[in-house]
Amino acid sequence: MTVTVRKAVIPAAGLGTRFLPATKAQPKEMLALVDKPAIQYVVEEAVRSGITDILVITGRGKRTLEDHFDRSFELEHYLAEGGKYEALAEMRAIAEMADIHYVRQGEPKGLGHAVSVARNHIGDQPFAVLLGDDIMHERAGVLDSMLGVFARFSRSVVAFKEVTSAEISSYGCATPERVEDNLIRVLDIVEKPSAEEAPSNLAVMGRYLFTPEIFDALEQVKPGKGGEIQLTDAIKLLLGEQEVYGWTFRDGRFDVGNKLDYLRATVELALEREDLGPDFQLYLVELVKRRGLV
């Protein structure tokens, strides 16, 4: 019998220190890409793939996340009174797109710990983990492809992308065995290795599908890099019990926790908008010429 993934976990308890002072009084997940907060792109990605039961792991100062996905009757009344029915429909759709739950992590003990607090909600079902800093463009089809792999093997799947040797120390890194195009079997995995110690250039890219056994592995993990409970270390333990696969891809990912990538995402997403793209493109061309860049 094929097991379908219907639940997702979005860890969103981080302090967002890379974007201070913008994140001093608002969650980094609520920073806008054009006119939509980053976390909404992540939720929409899950919903497009058929996942509508979503648990957001939050912390102190994250109440605006809950408010964003809740109904706002005052705003809806104002929009209705003003005849702004298109905006009204959009606001209602945000609140109705998924069944979203929230739980606080309590202490910032790392990504592995954040995922572990989802155990009561997930139970014995498979589930997805989508990191809020990683925005995946719809054209990349990363989550859909991973779900296809899970449907075939009923085993955990991790997203990977090739990075440079200078970048690998910022990511989890796999020892791969090629299965077929874009698909690997993970033989080993290590958290943030140095360029000299990295077993490959395949870096973990913020999308995971897990069997529920990952929770048992997380219970056994001791604090690792940075004194935190590392999700990568739990995957390494899981490898001792069952196979773990990796889906590799090339394009379509934005790390919006990185300022340069955040700007790149904003520009690319704006250019794709029918209401903004043509005029924005003309402006960019003019700007490049004015600055003598061509």
Nearest residue to 170 (alpha-carbon basis) of 193, 189, 199 = 193
> How many CA atoms, within 13 angstroms, populate the side-chain half-sphere of residue 273?
16
65 contact partners, CB below 8 Å, separation of at least 6: 12, 27, 29, 30, 39, 56, 58, 102
Q: How far apart are CA 166 and CA 162, in angstroms?
A: 12
**Cα distance from N-terminal residue to C-terminal residue, the chain:** 58
pLDDT of residue 24: 85
Q: Enter the tokens of residue 38.
A: 């980053």
Cα(277)–Cα(169) distance, rounded to whole angstroms?
36
Estimate the crossing angle of helix 85-96 against helix 73-81, to 10 degrees: 160
Tally of residues, the chain: 294
Give the β-pairing of 134-136 and 253-255: antiparallel
218-228 pLDDT, tens digit per residue, is: 999 988 777 78
Q: What's the pLDDT at 1? A: 47
Q: Quick one: residue 36, left, alpha or beta (phi over 0 = left, psi -120 to 50 = alpha)? A: beta
Q: Give the per-residue pLDDT at 162.
A: 94
Distant-in-sequence, close-in-space partners of 251: CB < 8 Å, separation ≥ 6: 137, 139, 140
> What pLDDT, on a 0 to 100 scale, did the predictor assign at position 2?
56
**Nearest-angstrom CA–CA distance, 18 and 39:** 17
Q: Give the closest residue to 193 by CA, choosing from 236, 250, 158.
A: 236
Of 283, 263, 284, 278, whose CA–CA distance to 33 is shortest? 263
Q: So what's the pLDDT on residue 271?
A: 96
| pLDDT number for residue 159 | 97
What are the structure tokens assigned to 175, written together?
């020892």
Crossing angle for the helix pair 277-290 and 259-271, nearest 10 degrees?
120
Q: What is the pLDDT of residue 20?
A: 85
Ranges in the chain, pLDDT < 50: 1
Predicted structure pTM score: 0.93
Tokens of 257: 């926790």
State the fold for domain 7-257.
Spore Coat Polysaccharide Biosynthesis Protein SpsA; Chain A (3.90.550)
